[in-house]
Amino acid sequence: MSTHDETTSDRENRLCCEAQEQGLLLVKAGTHNKDAAHYGRYVLVPDKAGNRRRGAQAVRRAFADGEGKTLDEIAAELGVTRRSETVLNAFERRWT
Rounded mean pLDDT, 82-94: 55
Encode pLDDT of 5-33 as tens digits. Answer: 558 888 899 999 999 999 999 999 888 88
- Say yes or no to pLDDT of 4 above 60: no
Q: Where are the domains of the chain?
A: 6-89
H/E element holding 81?
Answer: none
55: left (phi over 0), alpha (psi -120 to 50) or beta: left
CB 62 within 8 A of CB 73: no
Instruction: List, as one string, the DSSP characters of 3-60.
Output: SS-HHHHHHHHHHHHHHHHTTEEEEE-----TTSTTTT-EEEEE--GGGSSTT-HHHH
